[in-house]
Chains A and B, each alone.
Chain A
Amino acid sequence: MTDHLPILLLLFPLFGSLICVLLGKNNAAHSWVVAMISLGGSALLSLLMLIKVLGLKLGDFRYRMGGWPESSSYEVGIELRVDVLACLIVLAVMIVGFLNTIYSKTRVSAEVGEKGSFFYALIQLLIVGLCGIIMTNDAFNLYVLIEITSLTSYALIAMGNRRAALSSFNYVIMGTIGASFYLLGVGYLYIKTGTLNIDDIHNYLRSENLWASQSIVVAFILIMLGVWTKMAFFPLHGWLPNAYSYAPSMTGTFMAPLMTKVMVYVMIRVMLWLFGSDFVYSPESIWSELIIWMAVVAIVAGSFLALARNDIKKMLTYLIIAEVGYMVGGAWLGNLNGQAGAFYHILSDAAMTFCLFIAASIVIIRTGESRLNAFDDLFRKMPITMIGFTIGGLSMIGLPPTCGFFSKWYLIKGGVEAGQWEFVVALLFSSLINAVIFFKIFERAYFGKIKGIKEEVTVQDRDTIPAGGIKSVPLSMLIPLCVGSLSILIIGIMNKNIFSWITKALEMVNG
C-alpha cells in the first residue's frame, strides 16, 4: 500500500476535480465538500509519505507508472521519484491547498458566483499538476505538468474582477514563452542523449562526458530561461503582480505562496539532478557569478518596488519577487548552506506568503479598501487578523523565532562561506526595507489615523467595524490564518530538524 502513495495522493484531487465538474454549475457547496475530502485525504497521504521516506536508508524511492519494468537499454516507462525534499514540498502544497479550501468556503459564492464548482475543479487540477511537477522523474512529463498548472491558473486568474482577464492574458503570453523555452531545452537534451528520464540523462551526460558540448550548454540556458520566466525572476516578473492581485482572493492566496516556489524547486532539480553540480558550478563557467548578481538585482529591485506600492496585494506580490531572488541566489552560491537555505526558504516563504495573503485578503474584504490605509487602527478592530499579519510581517523582516530569520541565517551563512558579499548585503538590505514596509503598516494599525492629515476615504463602512471585529470575520477565514501563522513559528523552531533532512538529501546528490 505505502508503495503506491505517490500515485494515490495524485488520484484524490484528480478524481475530486472530475466530480466537481460533473456536479455542474451552482453547486459550490457540494464541490467544497468534495475538495475538502480529496485534499484532506491527500494531505494525510503526503504526511504518511514523508514519514515513510524519512525511514528509508537511501533517502528516496521510485514509483514505476503502470508497472513498466525498468530496462537497462531503452527506457520506455515513466516514473515518479520521491525523496525528503519532494515530500516536504508536496506536504506544503497539500496543507496550503487544504487550508485555502477552508478559506474559500464563504468567498466562492461572493467572488466567482455560479462558477463555484469549476473553481474547485480547477484548483484541484492545479494541485495535481504541482505535485506532479515535484515528483516526476521525466523531463518531458515535467513540461506537460507545467502546462497543466499554467492552463488551470490562467483560468483561475481570469475568474477575478474586470482587470483579471487582461492580466491573465499577459500571463498566458509570458507563460507560453517560458514553457517553450523549457521544451526547446528538453528537445536539445533528447537529441543528445536519446532519453527523457532525468536520472538517465544525468548518467549519460556523465558517462559520455558531454559537459563541454555546446548543445548541452544551450539546453541548460534555455531551460533556465524557461524556468525563470515561470518563477517571475526579475526582470522576467512582469506578469506576476497584476495576475496575483486581480485574481479572486482565494486564487491569490493559493498561487502566491506556491507557484513560484515550486518552480524554484524545479530549478534546483534541474541544476543538481538533471545536469549535476559539477557542470552547474564548474569553475570555468562565468554564469554563477552573473546569476548571483542578477539575484542581487532582483532582491533590491523587488524590495524597492514593494516599498513604492500603496496597494496591499501589489506590495506583497513585489515582495514575492524579492524572495525569488533570495532562493535563486542561494541555489547558485554553490555550497550546501546556500542550496539548503534556498530550499528551506521555499517552505518558510510558502508559510509566510500564505499567512500574509490570507490576512491581507481578510483586511481588504472587511474594510473594502485595498490600499494601505485599510490598516488604520486595525489592532483594536481586528486583533486576531492583525496578530497573524504581524507574525507574517516579522518573518518577512527576519526576526527570531520566525522561520524567516532562520532561512536568512542559512542563506547569509552560505553567502559568507562562498565569499559572495554582495548577496549578503542584498539580503540584509531587503530585511531593512521589509522592516520599513511592515512597521509602516504596524504603526498605522497600532495608532490609527494620523490626526490632522486628511486622507481620502473611499469606503464608508470602514469606521463602522466594531472594536474586536473578530466576530464578523468568519471562522473559515480565521482558521487558515491561525494555522498559517502557527506554521511560521513551527517551521522556525523546528529548523534544525528540517535543515538536517534537507542537507542529507542534498549531500546525496552532490556526492
Chain B
Amino acid sequence: MASVEFSLIPFLAWLVSLLAVPAIILLGKKPDAREGITFLAAIVKFGLVLLMLPLVREGKILHFSFGEIIEGIPIEFRVDGLGILFAIVASSLWILTSLYALGYMRSLKEHDQTRFFACFALSLSATIGVAFAGNLLTLYIFYEILSLSTYPLVTHHGDKEARSGGRTYLSHLLGTSVAFVLPAMIYCYWKKGGDINFTDGSLLTTDLGSGAGLIVLLAFTFGFAKNGLMPFHSWLPNAMVAPTPVSALLHAVAVVKVGVFCVIRVFTGVFGIELLEKLDIAIVVSWIAAFTVITSSLIALSQNNLKRRLAFSTIGQLSYIILGVSLLSPLGVTGSILHVAMHAFGKITLFFCAGAIYVAMHKKYVSELVGIGRKMPITMTAFAIGSLSVIGLPFTGGLVSKWYLVMGTVEVLPEGTLDHGKIALLVVFLVSSILNACYFLPIVYRAFFCRPEESLYEGGRQEAPLACLIPLCITALLSVISFFNPGLFIELAGLISNK
C-alpha cells in the first residue's frame, strides 16, 4: 500500500503557471520580457514535476489540501503514478510549445498576444490541477476552469468561424459536464456518504446494480466530453480554428488528454476495476469506443484540411485509450496510460509540422502538400516520424503502447480460453491501424516521392523559422526515444494498473 505524504511541491507546481498569468499581463507591453516569464514558468514547473518523480517512484503519494469546501470533500492534490506521468508530458511539452508559439505568433504577427500567452499559462495550471486532483470535486473544478480558460484561445481570431467554433466548443464541453458529470458526482457523494477521493479504489459500494452502474459509468464517460467520444466529438474539429500552437498543445495533449485522464480515473478510482468486472458493464464503453475508433478514422480519410484530418485522427486515438482501459485487464490499462504519453509526442509533432507548413508556405490543405518534402525536408521528416508513431510502427513510441493495448485484448481467461468479444476488439485495433496508415502515409509519400512535374513547389529549401523548427525536431526525437526507452512510463503506468 502506498504511503501518503504531505508535500508542498504539487501546490507549487500548480501555482507557478498561475502566478505567470498576472506577470504576463503586466509585461504585456514588453514582448521579450513577457515570453521570458512564460519560459521561466514552464521550466520551473517542469523542474518541480521532476522533483516529485523519485518520490512517486518509491510508491509514495504526495498530498496537499486547500481545506474542506463541502462537508467531507476538501480541495486536494494527490500525486500518484498516473498523475505524475500526465504532468510530465504536459509540462515538458509546454516548454517546447512556448518556443514554438513564440516563433509562430511572431512570424504571423498575430494580434492580442498577451491574452494568448496569459490564457495559455492559465490553462496549463488547470491541466496540472486535473492531473493532481485527489477527488472528484477537485477534478471537476479544474476541468471546468480548463474549458473556460481555453475558450479565448480557440476563438483567438475573433471572426465568424472562430465564434461558431467557440460556441460548439463551450456548449459541448460545459453542457456535457454540467448535465452528466455533476449529477453522477453527487450520486457518488451520496452513495458513499461523504468523502469522494480516489485513493481507496471504489467510490461506489458493491450493492450497486448493473443498471444504475451503467448509467453512472456512461454519465461519466460522456460527461467528460474532452475525450472526444462520439457523439460528443464535434467540438474538436471545430476547435481547429485556433492558432496552431493551441491545437498542438491543447487539442493534441492537454485538453483532450484531460478528457481521457478523467475516464481512466473514473475506471480505476471511482468504480475500481474489480467492481466493473463484477458488474460486467465496461463492454458497453468498449463498443462505443470501438465505433468511434473506426468511424473517426474513416472520416479522417476524407478530410482535406490537414488540421481537421489530424483532429479526427486524435478522436480515434483517444478512443484507443478509452477502449484500452475498458478492457479491464492490467495490460490494457497499462497500454492506455502509455498511450497518453506516446500519442502526445507523436501528435504534437504532427501539429507542429502543420503549423510550420502554414507559417512557411501558408498552406493548410492536404492536396497542396505534393512535393513539399524537397522544400521543407526537416519538417516533413519529422512529420513522417510523427505519422509512424501514431500508426504504431517501429521505431517509434506508438508501437510500445499499441503493443500493450493489443496484448490487453488477448488476455487468457481463467478457463484457458480466449474471450471472443475481446478478439473482435483486437480486429478493431488492427483495422484502425491500417486506416491510420491510409490517411497519413500518402501525405508523406507524395511530399517526398512525386515526379518533378507533379510537384507544386520549386526552388530551394525554405523552412519555418528556427523557433518553430527546433520544437518539432525535439518532439520527433522524443517519439523515437520513447520507443527505445519506455521503462519510466511503463513503471509509472504499472503503479496504477497493478494495484
On A, residues with C-beta under 8 Å from B are 397-401, 406, 408-409, 412-413, 416-417, 424, 428-429, 431-432, 435-436, 439, 443, 446-447, 450-452, 493, 495-496, 499-500
Which A residues are in CB contact (< 8 Å) with B141?
Answer: 400-401
Contact of B183 among A400, A406, A416, A493 (CB under 8 A): A416
Contact between A443 and B70, CB atoms less than 8 A apart: no
Do the beta carbons of A428 and B170 come within 8 Å of each other?
Answer: no
Residues of B within 8 A of A (CB): 68-71, 137, 140-141, 144, 148, 152, 155, 158, 160, 163, 166-167, 170-171, 174-175, 178-179, 182-183, 186-187, 189-190
Given known A428-B178, A439-B170, A450-B160, contact A496–B183 (CB-CB < 8 A): no
Complex formed: what's the CA distance from A351 to B109 in Å?
A: 43
A399 with B175: in contact, given A412-B183, A412-B186, A496-B68 (CB under 8 Å)?
no
A-B contact pairs, 8 of them (CB 8 A): A406-B70, A428-B183, A429-B179, A431-B182, A435-B175, A450-B163, A495-B69, A499-B70
Complex Cα–Cα for A401 and B138 (A): 11
Contact of B171 among A401, A408, A436, A452 (CB under 8 A): A436
Q: Which of B71, B144, B171, B178 has the most CB of A within 10 A?
A: B178
Contact of B186 among A416, A429, A432 (CB under 8 A): A416
9 residue pairs, one from A and one from B, having the closest CB atoms: A400-B141, A412-B186, A431-B178, A413-B186, A428-B179, A416-B190, A447-B158, A399-B144, A416-B187
Given A409-B70, A413-B190, A439-B174, 15 more A-B residue pairs with CB atoms under 8 Å apart are: A399-B144, A400-B141, A401-B141, A408-B182, A412-B186, A413-B186, A413-B189, A424-B183, A431-B179, A443-B166, A447-B155, A451-B160, A496-B69, A496-B71, A499-B71
Instruction: Write the nearest CB–CB distance from B143 to chain A, whole angstroms.
Output: 10
- Min CB gap B421→A, angstroms: 32
Could you tell me the distance between the alpha carbons of A500 and B72 in the complex, rounded to whole angstroms? Answer: 12
Q: A493-B69, A495-B70 are in contact. Are A400 and B140 (CB under 8 A)?
A: yes
Contact A443 B71 (CB under 8 A): no
Residue from the list B70, B171, B182, B189 in contact with A428, Cβ < 8 A = B182
Write out the residue numbers on chain B whose beta carbons fall within 8 Å of the beta carbon of A413: 186, 189-190
- Knowing A399-B144, A406-B70 are in contact, say whether A435-B178 is a contact too (CB < 8 A): yes
Contact between A452 and B189, CB atoms less than 8 A apart: no
Q: Are A447 and B163 in contact (CB under 8 A)?
A: yes
B470 to chain A, nearest CB (A): 34
Q: Is the CB of A500 within 8 A of B71?
A: yes
Please state if B163 and A443 are interface contacts (CB–CB under 8 Å): yes
The residue in chain A whose Cβ has the minimal distance to the Cβ of B140 is A400
Q: A398 CA to B71 CA in the complex, in Å?
A: 18
- Select from chain A the residue with minimum beta-carbon distance to B167: A443
> Which single residue of chain A is at the shortest CB-CB distance from B141?
A400
Chain B nearest CB: distance from A179 CB in Å?
Answer: 38
Residue of A nearest to B148 (CB): A399
In Å, the complex CA distance between A493 and B75 comes to 11
A163 CB, nearest partner CB in chain B, Å:
34
Contacts of A428 in B (CB 8 A): 178-179, 182-183
Q: How far is the CA of A238 from the CA of B179 in the complex (A)?
A: 30
Residues of the A chain whose Cβ atoms lie less than 8 Å from the Cβ of B148: 399
- Name the distance in Å between B56's Cβ and chain A's nearest Cβ: 27
The CA of A417 and the CA of B167, in the complex, are separated in Å by 34
Contacts of A436 in B (CB 8 A): 171
Chain A neighbourhood of B71, CB < 8 A: 496, 499-500
> A398–B178 contact, CB under 8 A?
yes
Please name all residues of chain B whose beta carbon is closer than 8 Å to the beta carbon of A400 when the two chains form the complex.
137, 140-141, 144
B179 nearest CB neighbor, chain A only: A428
A397 to B71 CA separation, bound complex (whole angstroms): 22
A429 to B170, CA, bound (A): 16
Please give the distance in Å from A500's CB to the nearest CB on chain B: 7
Question: Which residues in B have their C-beta under 8 angstroms from that of A451?
Answer: 160
Q: How far is the CA of A495 from the CA of B141 in the complex (A)?
A: 16
Residue of B nearest to A421 (CB): B183
CA–CA, A408 and B185, complex, Å: 12
Whole-angstrom CA separation of A495 from B170 in the bound complex = 27
Residue contact B182 to A412, C-beta cutoff 8 Å: yes
Q: How far is the CB of A442 from chain B (nearest CB, A)?
A: 9
Find out whether the CB atom of B163 lies under 8 angstroms from the CB atom of A432.
no
Distance from B184 Cβ to chain A, minimum over Cβ atoms (Å): 10
Kindly provide the distance from the CB of A480 to the nearest chain B CB, expressed in whole angstroms. 26
Q: How far is the CB of A452 from chain B (nearest CB, A)?
A: 7
Contact, CB under 8 Å: A401 / B69: yes
* A347 CA / B148 CA spacing, docked (Å): 26
A28 to chain B, nearest CB (A): 41
**Bound form: Cα–Cα A447–B70 in Å:** 36
Chain A: CB-nearest residue to B178: A431
The answer to whether A417 and B190 have CB atoms under 8 Å apart is yes
Q: B69 contacts which chain A residues (CB < 8 A)?
A: 401, 493, 495-496
- Across-interface contacts of B171 in A (CB, < 8 A): 435-436, 439
Contacts of A429 in B (CB 8 A): 179
Residues of B within 8 A of A398 (CB): 178
A499 / chain B contacts, CB cutoff of 8 Å: 70-71
Question: With A and B bound together, what is the CA distance between A133 and B190 in angstroms?
Answer: 35
Residues of B within 8 A of A452 (CB): 160
Contacts of B167 in A (CB 8 A): 439, 443
A408 to B144 alpha-carbon distance, docked (Å): 16
Taken together as a complex, chains A and B put the C-alpha atoms of A400 and B139 apart, in Å, by 11
User: Which residues of B lie under 8 Å from residue A446 when comparing CB positions?
Assistant: 152, 155
Task: Report the bound CA distance from A406 to B71 in whole Å.
Answer: 11
In the bound complex, CA of A496 to CA of B190 (Å):
16
- Report the bound CA distance from A432 to B187 in whole Å: 19
Residues from chain A with Cβ under 8 Å of B152 in the complex: 446
Are A409 and B178 interface neighbours, CB within 8 A?
no
| Residues of the A chain whose Cβ atoms lie less than 8 Å from the Cβ of B189 | 413
Instruction: For residue A41, give the distance in angstroms from its CB to the closest CB of chain B.
Output: 34
With beta carbons under 8 angstroms apart, the residue of A401, A432, A493 that contacts B179 is: A432
Q: Please, how many angstroms separate the alpha-carbon atoms of A496 and B67 in the complex? A: 11
Q: For the complex, what is the distance from the CA of A429 to the CA of B179, rounded to whole Å?
A: 7
CB distance from A444 to the nearest CB of B (A): 10
Q: In the complex, are the beta carbons of B174 and A435 less than 8 A apart?
A: yes
- Are B144 and A409 closer than 8 Å at their CB atoms? no
Measured in the bound complex, the distance between the Cα atoms of B140 and A401 in whole Å is 11
CB distance from A300 to the nearest CB of B (A): 14
In the bound assembly, the distance between CA atoms of A451 and B158 in angstroms comes to 10
Shortest Cβ gap from A180 to chain B (Å): 41
Contacts of B137 in A (CB 8 A): 400
CA distance A86 to B380 in the complex (A): 71
| Cα distance, A168 to B148, chains bound together (Å) | 41
Residues on A with beta carbons closer than 8 Å to the beta carbon of B182 = 408, 412, 428, 431
Q: What is the bound-complex CA distance between A409 and B144, given in angstroms? A: 15
Q: How far is the CB of B53 from chain A (nearest CB, A)?
A: 30
CA distance A432 to B171 in the complex (A): 9
